[in-house]
Structures are given as structure tokens and as C-alpha cells.
Amino acid sequence: MSPCPTCLGQDPRASFDRVGPAGPVEAAIPPNTVGRVRPSYRVLRERRGARASLDTVADDLKAALPHAPSARCMNPECSEVCEWPQGGGRPARFHDRACQERFQLVQRRLVNEQEDILSALARAPRPSRSERIFLENQLARRRWLLERYPDPLHRL
């Protein structure tokens, strides 16, 4: 195995057998990176290699680069920020109810327009060439806009 440039020539897997004064979390971070840029979770898991077990997932998540504590409101027309709840509970997707209602209104409108365009393209007799080109352009535009309005029912 070639030496890792981050570990300055050390075998990155060697540091995982060591338990430092801070416990197993510090052991997951190579000693020369403590106090500097923290690696991503994926990098930590790859460094563990074939010995990566599910018992070390929590340690790697604690040692990894933390995610942002806030995110923009889900409404693409809004610039407000939603914070991750510190005391637990469901995180907010929208900064207020009116913003969520606006999001749902625009999303429904785009879905309905997309369905109408698809119906118009499938009708008999078929639309003329210029009308078909216009409808396909408008359909592509609705699909492009809908990428910014994800359906909450289709979660990962």
C-alpha cells in the first residue's frame, strides 16, 4: 500500500489499533491531523478498510467533519435559514407555515401543468410540429423547476 499524503508516510490503518487519551474517537484520527482539518466520514470508513465494523460507526461520525447546524428553507423562493433543533424533535424544513404553503402551491401548480402538457402531447390528432416543440420546451421547463420542489413523499 502506498503511503497516505495526509498521514505523512504512516500507514493510515495503523492508527486505528491505538487508543489515545481521548478514547477511540481520537484513535480514528491520525495523530498528525488532530487540530487541523477533520476528514469526512467516508474517508474515515475507507481508512478502516476491511476491518471496518458497525461498532465503529459512532466513533467515525464523532471524529468526522461535522455537518452544518442550519440549512436554507426548502422553498427555493425563500432565503431564510432553518436551524437543527438542539433539544431533539423534528427539524424544520420551512422557516414558517406561510412559506410551506407557498411551496406546496407552486409544486402542485407545476405538477398539474406537467400533466396537462403530457396529455396535450399524447392527444389525437397529434399537435403540429411547432406546437409540439413549444409543448416539449414547456415540459422540460416544468421538470427543471420541479427539481427545486422535491416531493416529500419520495424520501431516501
Over residues 112-125, mean pLDDT: 95
Q: How far apart are CA 130 and CA 22, in angstroms?
A: 69
Mean pLDDT of the chain: 78
Predicted confidence at residue 46, as pLDDT, reads 82
For residue range 45-59, list pLDDT tens digits in order: 788 877 677 778 778
Task: Tell me whether the omega of the peptide bond preceding residue 125 falls within 30 degrees of 0, making it cis.
Answer: yes
Residue with cell 475507507: 46
Q: How far apart are CA 22 and CA 34, in angstroms?
A: 11
Q: Is the pLDDT of residue 20 over 80?
A: no
Q: Is the pLDDT of residue 23 over 60?
A: no
Q: Is the pLDDT of residue 24 over 60?
A: no
Q: How confident is the model at residue 34 (pLDDT cuts 50, 70, 90)?
A: low
Q: Is the pLDDT of residue 144 over 60?
A: yes
Over residues 83-96, mean pLDDT: 89
What three-state secondary structure class fits 125?
coil
Please state which of the ranges 23-32, 37-46, 50-59, 106-115 shows the lowest mean pLDDT.
23-32
